A = this chain, B = another copy of it.
Amino acid sequence: MKEDKPIIRSLLDVDFYKFTMGHLVFHHYPDVPVRYAFKNRTVRVPLAENIDIGQLREEFDAVRQLRFGKSEIHYLRGTNEYQERMFSEEYLNFLTNFQLPEYFLEKDGKQLRIEFAGKWSEAIYWETIGLAIINELYYKTKMKDFSEFEFDQVKANGVLRLAKKIRQLKNYLGITICDFGTRRRFSKEWQWYVIRTMSTELKKQFLGTSNTKAAMDYELLPMGTSAHEMDMAMSGIMHESDEDIRASHSRALEDWWNQYGQGLSIALTDTYGTDFFFQGFTLEQARNWKGLRHDSGDPFEFGEKAIKFYQDYNIDPAEKLMVFSDGLDIKTIIKLFERFNGRIKISFGWGTNLTNDVGFETLSLVVKLVESNGFGTVKLSDNLAKAIGDPDDIKRFKKIFGYTVETYTECKV
């Protein structure tokens, strides 16, 4: 844990959805100018006092020196699990010569202002890399005076907490898990340990990981589909009128389907609120798409709503998949399983509490798309604590999308 190597040592050490989205973007919207901004939602922790900005710069600079290796490109080319040869040769050529674009980093009072701007097709890869760096550096800084024995205790805590999770999961053989914890991981080393262990211990209950490099290293399924940024960027691309913005949401879904078909057809429902999503999701889409991903708001309500939605369309919910991925812990996972098992297929994308449960508090850090094509973007979500955007834009988007939610629950992870 005390090594001085850069935190990110491979451009494949990134969430797989950056490739599935990046591939679509490369082909359809490569030059759209975008801006991603970092945000520490755990405002009580003054990040600028807990991370050395010079060190952070070194880490960011180091990752800009990285290039995709031959075997890494081979690995992507060989990815076949969702669609035959899903990544085009043009795209793989693009990646072969790819370098992460420049970043913006400065102190902003007690916090950090970090932004990644550029062409969408290039800036898109910073998100999970930037977050993993900031997180790991934060903990490295916390532990900089730790003795070897203190490190051993951190690991021991991590091992026993992981063991407890695994014991509980073994009691529910129907629960399937995948690791979504790259961005909030305690460290790269620890995420690898967790993945290796989950995979060995849980076998078929552990479906795979969102981390492309870890999937490659451990012969696992790389997992991921799309993120809010697809909807959000599209609202900047189609920004002529309120109607246009409203239509941009369907456009994002259509693009996705046209690119990947059923293979990656898990829809994220909460960008502008789940109610709007269900209004717009057509019978054909409901039939074709494999399922939905839940990422904010009450997951039990969401599940019930989704089941009802399918039933209203006369679709058997038991044929559909619901992926839960919002701040899960083992208790919630088991409760959700007990509620929905047998009624609808379910799976869990487990992030922070899986890869960062070693005894330290965790931070709710995000990197979100805030500008697309010159326009401010908006994410509403089903929990206003997760809302993103300029207040005026948020107001406008609420109206456009008929958003009425008033839930505000602090984000722990």
A residues near B, CB below 8 A? 147-149, 152-153, 155-160, 163, 166, 197, 200-201
Contacts and interface: CB of A to CB of B under 8 A. Distances in A.
Nearest to A152: B159
A201 to B, nearest CB: 6
B149 A200 contact: yes
Nearest to A193: B152
Contacts of A156: 155-160, 163
B149 A153 contact: no
24 contacts: A147-B200, A147-B201, A148-B200, A149-B159, A149-B163, A149-B166, A149-B197, A149-B200, A149-B201, A152-B159, A152-B197, A153-B159, A153-B160, A153-B163, A155-B156, A155-B159, A156-B156, A156-B157, A156-B158, A156-B159, A156-B160, A156-B163, A157-B160, A160-B160
A152 B158 CA distance: 10
A148 B158 CA distance: 15
A372 B166 CA distance: 56
Contacts of A155: 156, 159
A178 B197 CA distance: 37
Contacts of A166: 149
A149 B158 CA distance: 12
Nearest to A159: B156
A105 B254 CA distance: 78
